Amino acid sequence: MARQLRAEQTRATIITAAADLFDRHGYECTSLSDIVGHAQVTKGALYFHFAAKEELAHAILELNARAARALVTEADSRGCASLEALIRTTFGIARLAVKDPVPRAALRLATADVPLRPPLRHPFTEWLDFATRMFTGAVREADVHRELDVGIVAHSLVSFFVGTRVAGRSLEPVGRLPRRVAEMWHLLIRSLVPVHRRPRYLTLATQLEGEIRN
């Protein structure tokens, strides 16, 4: 049991080290030797868990997908309006990205040419599906304008969110991400939500930003 626990801890250490390097330097510019040094493990320990750098990338994307699904499940379990669930989920992703290199690395890997093995889906595909479902519900609940094309709006949201992090990676610290997500939602809410419903969602975005920053 103790040996199994040590093996799990070593695997987690390697994944965290790889995620940190992938996030800071990119997948292509990070070698297995870099990861060994950053994780402070032996090459044998690394190869025991991961035969190739691609397997490490896949493990990071898998962990991120699991965390994202947990956020979606949490939002669904609240029984709140669709638009609120969507807003809460995006701030949940931002919160994870601030605290953990794995979701930051996963986002960078998603924009690199890293092949995905089924059943793992591309994170952008999962986000698009979720955003489309939530915007469809928001139209039904009259929280956004009825004439909206939910497919276009969902694609715009995912592009906006991803672009915020990609641009911010080189320009500002990751701790700025909650502010950028709040700014994104303030723009979108004013564009998509009927006037009489805006205050509720503008307040929610500000509140969720504050919860991450505090």
CATH of the domain at 88: 1.10.357.10
Report the pLDDT value the prediction gives residue 90, as an integer from 0 to 100.
96
Which alpha helices (DSSP H) does 100-197 contain, by range? 101-110, 123-140, 150-171, 177-192
Whole-angstrom CA distances from 79 to 37, 51, 72, 133 are 46, 43, 12, 15
Which alpha helices (DSSP H) does 26-144 contain, by range? 32-39, 43-49, 53-77, 82-99, 101-110, 123-140
CB neighbourhood size of 41 (10 A): 18
**Quick check: is 33 in a domain?**
no
Contact residues for 73 (Cβ-Cβ < 8 A; gap 6+): none
Residue 158, burial from CB neighbour count under 10 angstroms (0-12, 13-18, 19+): buried
Contact residues for 40 (Cβ-Cβ < 8 A; gap 6+): 13
Rg, C-alpha atoms of the chain? 19
SS3 100: coil
**Quick check: is 31 in a domain?**
no
The residue written with tokens 């952008």 in the block is 124
Please give the residue range of the domain that contains residue 105: 62-213
**Quick check: is 182 in a domain?**
yes
The pair of structure tokens assigned to 29 is 């510019």
Number of domains in the chain: 1
**Quick check: is 201 in a domain?**
yes
**Quick check: is 32 in a domain?**
no
**Quick check: is 46 in a domain?**
no
The pair of structure tokens assigned to 45 is 């320990």
CA distance 128 to 208: 22
**Quick check: is 24 in a domain?**
no
CA dihedral 66, 108, 187, 153 (to 10 degrees): -70
What does the pLDDT profile of the chain (214 residues) look like in tens digits? 677 888 899 999 999 999 999 999 999 999 999 999 999 999 999 999 999 999 999 999 999 999 999 998 998 888 899 999 999 999 999 999 999 999 999 989 988 878 888 888 988 999 999 999 999 999 999 999 999 999 999 999 999 999 888 888 878 888 899 999 999 999 999 999 999 999 999 999 999 999 998 7
Is residue 190 within 8 A of residue 198, CB to CB? The reply is yes
The residue written with tokens 């950053």 in the block is 38
**Quick check: is 7 in a domain?**
no
The residue written with tokens 């994780």 in the block is 39
